[in-house]
Structure 1
Amino acid sequence: MKNSKHAIRGLAWACGIAAAMAVAGCGGGSSSDDDNGGNPTTPTSPTAFVLDSIVLPGSKAKAEAQVQPLGVTLRSTRIVLPQLDTTKSEQAGLGKPAMQIGVPRAVAQTTSVAKTQAALQWQPLPDGRTAAAVHIASEGAYGLRMGVVVGGLPDAAQLRIYSDEHPDAVVQVSGASVNALLAQNHKAGESGQAADTWWTPDVGAGNATLEVVLPAGTAADAVRIAIPSVSHIYQNLSLPTEAELADVTKAQQAGACNLDANCTSNYQLERNAVARMTFVAADGISYLCTGTLVNNTKKDYTPYFLTANHCISTQTSASTLQTNWFYRSSSCNSGIPGTFASRNGGATLLYATASTDSSFLKLNDTPPAGVTLAGWDARNNAKEGASIYGLHHPSGDLLKYSVGSINGFTNCVSTGGTGVSCSPGDAQSNFYSVRWSQGVTEGGSSGSALFNDGRVIGTLYGGSSSCKAPNAADSYGRFDKVFNSNIWSWLAG
């Protein structure tokens, strides 16, 4: 049995090997404007099997909304959760899929709607609106996401999130956006408290303040929310604000044999298609993987996003997705991040399958200008010996690259927890076996794309490569297989 990349990297399949398609078996779904079924003009076969990359121009990207100050300092109920033993937390996550970065913590003071309403101290604003706030800190955390269970929230409400360390770096989300995310969960057939939970963005600190702002004339009792838990991020993801970038020294998280993507003149186009992604599972555990934007034959800049099924296989998790773009070093081996951008709006899960460990989504937020929508090649399988490379975020670190070749084909199955067993296959098998000549992969690399000549040909499932075993094999789900099974209808329909 080969280890995962979460013992070195997480490899549990969320739905089990027998589930061929998570849309039916794992609660995945599609929005109506992306559902090609029933349309008589829909092609019955792909219009293309190979496509090149394109770059998102500024004219197609949405301008960042400016968050205006409230004009007053709100009183807030302040809740502090005691120090957490992160060693036990990390050990508890070893049997989970993907790279675990956080654990849930109960919040007794806001566990119900009644308690949360009591904690929200409403006060008037100068413009006639009303607002209230609650602050939660978890001792020892590097990040924190509040799990807000929504029983009722006006569309016109504004939710503002920030930390004590960065009170001016406010993330603002409308009540309508929150309600739309939760509606997505229900449309996908998911139910229960997890489907009714909106997870606040991680603002890069172990504390967060949630402000709720209501339009003039809106009754406070229209807000029926509870915050029964938070996800305590114990992994230091080191996401400084733009103003701090020049002064922040970031300790390297990945093994020293990983190669800085800013130390090569290669991959200049495709590296901008790669995002570091974090998300929260239904049980409140937070994870980190890597994903890649992919182009479609209409070339309309639709933000289709490819990652691993063992990372995201349900709409509930997709709704929590945060992405970090251009997250790489400011210069070769500087260990300091350059200017990057984040998106917090989640995604629509279009298709997920355990057969190739692939997950295909559409981001709800437009990525920043300058990102690449990567090309792909679905013309059968790549040949043994073909040169390949990967771009990924091992251990959540700045963007790295690996170079190697196709070693053969494998048949892979989950052995439970983070274990996976791969046996030699043939050209019909669903996975490539890859060996690296430069660099490796680690936890956090899961879901990242395998490239050949600038085009995606696979997504990382797992394997045994590491700085201690650089020649060990990794396994990638074949893009041509998942393309032909379903996703061509979005990419080449």
Structure 2
Amino acid sequence: MRYLTYSVTGLLWIAGVAVAQNTPATYILDSVVLPASAVQVAKSAPVPVAATVQTHFVVLPELEVEQSWASDDGAGPAHQIGVARAVAATSSVAQTQSVLRWTALPSGQQVAAINIQSTGAYSLRAGVLVDSLPDGAQLHIYSQEHAYAIIARSGAEINALLAKNREAGETGAAANTWWTPEVGAGDTTVEVRLPAGTPAEALRISIPKVSHIYQNLSLPIDSEMQGMNHTATTKAGNAASCNLDISCSSNYQTERNAVARMLYTIESGQSYLCTGTLLNSSKGDFVPYFLTARHCISSQSSASSLQTRWFYRSDSCNSGVPGANSARSSAGATLLFATATTDSSLLRLNETPPAGVTMAGWHAAAPLPTTTPVYGLHHPRGDLLKYSVGVVSDYADCRSNGNGTFSCQLGEANGGFYNVEVSEGTTESGSSGSALFHEGRVVGTLYGGSHSCWVSEGSTNYGRFDKFFAEGASRWLASPAASMTP
């Protein structure tokens, strides 16, 4: 049921209660499916000129990384999957310029490429530090293994993304580093094409480090990358055994399409996985607002590095194989609002998700009573979509201890968090930022907790969406209240 609100003589009335006129006009909103008409048509991928481009190869030695997933008991931290590696051969502008070998094309363009391989990596992201990049340049990102699978970005797009970092007050390398999309291989090629008449000296970039991704993301090659459909040849399966496969349930058919797996890289070069949820807006304009945890993304540079994976669920119950319609976006996002009060962040994606995703509704009118049934949809450890079920057991005030842990004081009626008693499934690192739902609407954002497959008596804490909405998210999600004559 959808509740309507209206204002009379300068007051806004919600369920019979008068509140200040400047509050939003909508507190409860239903979900909507994103129509194809709201999605920009993707540009066709260009064909690489592999026969003419001269590529300089940099091979980093094998890196031993301890993968301690089994120690990730309960939810709370983002799930780290990548570490930084220095690249001495391209650590400065001068060194990078010295290894680029330019070839003139019949069009008058110049093209050159650098390929970096990090032995033992499942995937790789290159940190391209930009000193000067012509707007008309084209950067093509691909692996040598899949040279036909290109992600293309213009210099103008990259410059605009980095400008957002600076506008947010970030400086130095954090503000000026573009993290290339990962393309599902342990190497990455950065191919640069300069417009006709542009001297090679106009390009001033370096690649001082890469993010070596040591978890197999089990990503099938998709249509964005190669213009054709392929199915995955490997199974996902990093989540603990008590997690519940969403494809085994007939419930949550609409809201599950609002959930995306997140991959992002921070300034240091470490890469992480979290979960986020696409939100609807009362303005009806299909702007892709995206909800996640503040402990996942709290800076614009991290938001700029964001990649999302949509419809990332098994093609049949417990198959472990991603469905053929799984889709990705790698254009980053704009950080709009983040708060420690509920450990929540609101982003606006820079690229509209694929048609058919759900823009989830939300409930911000009042806190949920205790014993209210709730459920979560999430990607534990980056695995295919799972669900968990429970009830609101208490309210809490939660605070970070500053060392990757946090503590919660229960019984705080005005606290910014719900304490949820989980009865089915669980959450883990990587589930962070995922939405808590009640009757198809978002009511919270996952912070963390002690419940796990091994600690069944533990609980999980979610930031309250009504608090997040009141503190500032309503500015983007709801139209302001307007005076009306009844």
Give the alignment's TM-score, normalised by structure 2. Answer: 0.90
2:421 maps to 1:431: no
| Paired AA for residue 354 in structure 2 | P
Question: For 1:237-268, what per-residue CA distance to the aligned partner results, in whole angstroms no more than 9, with x for missing partners?
Answer: 11121468545131411011101111111111
Give the Å deviation of 1:126.
2.6
2:40 maps to 1:55: no
2:65 paired residue number = 86
2:124 maps to 1:144: yes
Match of 1:301 among 286, 295, 312: 286
Match of 1:397 among 383, 388, 393: 383
| Paired AA for residue 77 in structure 1 | H
Distance 1:469 1:81 in 2: 41
Identity of aligned residues (%): 57
Q: Aligned in 2, Cα 1:146/1:437: closer, same or farther, shift over 3 Å?
A: same
Give the Å deviation of 1:106.
0.3
Q: Aligned in 2, Cα 1:408/1:383: closer, same or farther, shift over 3 Å?
A: same
Match of 2:135 among 155, 173, 189: 155
Match of 1:132 among 94, 112, 118: 112
Give the Å deviation of 1:306.
0.4
Q: Aligned in 2, Cα 1:264/1:88: closer, same or farther, shift over 3 Å?
A: closer
1:172 paired residue number = 152
| Paired AA for residue 113 in structure 2 | A
The answer to whether the Cα contact below 8 Å between 1:97 and 1:417 also exists between their aligned partners in 2 is: no
Distance 2:39 2:98 in 1: 41
Match of 2:408 among 405, 422, 445: 422
2:447 paired residue number = 461
SS in 1 for 2:401: strand
Distance 1:71 1:443 in 2: 41
| Paired AA for residue 137 in structure 1 | Q
Which runs of structure 2 are paired with 1:203-218 in the superposition (5 Å)?
203-218=183-198
Match of 2:306 among 318, 321, 330: 321
SS in 2 for 1:416: coil
User: Which is bigger in relative contact order (C-alpha 8 A, separation at least 6)?
Assistant: 1
| Paired AA for residue 76 in structure 1 | T
Match of 1:273 among 258, 261, 274: 258
Give the Å deviation of 1:282.
1.4
Distance 2:175 2:40 in 1: 28
2:210 paired residue number = 230
2:337 maps to 1:358: no
Match of 2:233 among 237, 248, 256: 248
1:5 paired residue number = none
| Paired AA for residue 200 in structure 1 | T
Give the Å deviation of 1:425.
2.3
2:244 maps to 1:259: yes
SS in 1 for 2:114: strand
1:68 paired residue number = 46
The answer to whether the Cα contact below 8 Å between 1:326 and 1:341 also exists between their aligned partners in 2 is: yes
Give the Å deviation of 1:406.
0.6
2:85 paired residue number = 105
Distance 1:213 1:227 in 2: 17
The answer to whether the Cα contact below 8 Å between 1:271 and 1:391 also exists between their aligned partners in 2 is: yes
The answer to whether the Cα contact below 8 Å between 2:306 and 2:331 also exists between their aligned partners in 1 is: yes
| Paired AA for residue 75 in structure 1 | Q
1:184 paired residue number = 164
Distance 1:155 1:116 in 2: 19
The answer to whether the Cα contact below 8 Å between 1:46 and 1:488 also exists between their aligned partners in 2 is: yes
Question: For 1:267-291, what per-residue CA distance to the aligned partner results, in whole angstroms no more than 9, with x for missing partners?
Answer: 1110110000011111111111000
Distance 1:268 1:483 in 2: 25
The answer to whether the Cα contact below 8 Å between 2:279 and 2:360 also exists between their aligned partners in 1 is: yes
The answer to whether the Cα contact below 8 Å between 1:102 and 1:235 also exists between their aligned partners in 2 is: yes
1:409 paired residue number = 395
Question: For 1:412-449, what per-residue CA distance to the aligned partner results, in whole angstroms no more than 9, with x for missing partners?
Answer: 11122221111212321110001111100011000000
SS in 2 for 1:194: helix
1:479 paired residue number = 465
Distance 1:88 1:257 in 2: 20
Give the alignment's TM-score, normalised by structure 1. Answer: 0.89
The answer to whether the Cα contact below 8 Å between 2:78 and 2:272 also exists between their aligned partners in 1 is: yes
2:361 paired residue number = 375
The answer to whether the Cα contact below 8 Å between 1:72 and 1:125 also exists between their aligned partners in 2 is: no
The answer to whether the Cα contact below 8 Å between 1:90 and 1:100 also exists between their aligned partners in 2 is: no
How many residues get paired? 450
2:178 paired residue number = 198
SS in 2 for 1:86: coil
SS in 2 for 1:403: strand
The answer to whether the Cα contact below 8 Å between 2:72 and 2:428 also exists between their aligned partners in 1 is: no
Structure 2 unaligned regions, length at least 5: 1-20, 223-227, 480-486
2:426 maps to 1:440: yes
The answer to whether the Cα contact below 8 Å between 2:219 and 2:232 also exists between their aligned partners in 1 is: no
SS in 1 for 2:369: coil
Question: For 1:185-227, what per-residue CA distance to the aligned partner results, in whole angstroms no more than 9, with x for missing partners?
Answer: 0111111111110000011111011100111111111110000
The answer to whether the Cα contact below 8 Å between 1:439 and 1:470 also exists between their aligned partners in 2 is: no
**Structure of larger gyration radius:** 2
| Paired AA for residue 48 in structure 1 | T
Give the Å deviation of 1:470.
2.8
Distance 1:351 1:247 in 2: 36
Q: Aligned in 2, Cα 1:228/1:91: closer, same or farther, shift over 3 Å?
A: farther
Distance 1:478 1:362 in 2: 20
RMSD: 1.8
Question: For 1:49-93, what per-residue CA distance to the aligned partner results, in whole angstroms no more than 9, with x for missing partners?
Answer: 000000111111112211121444212110011010111898999
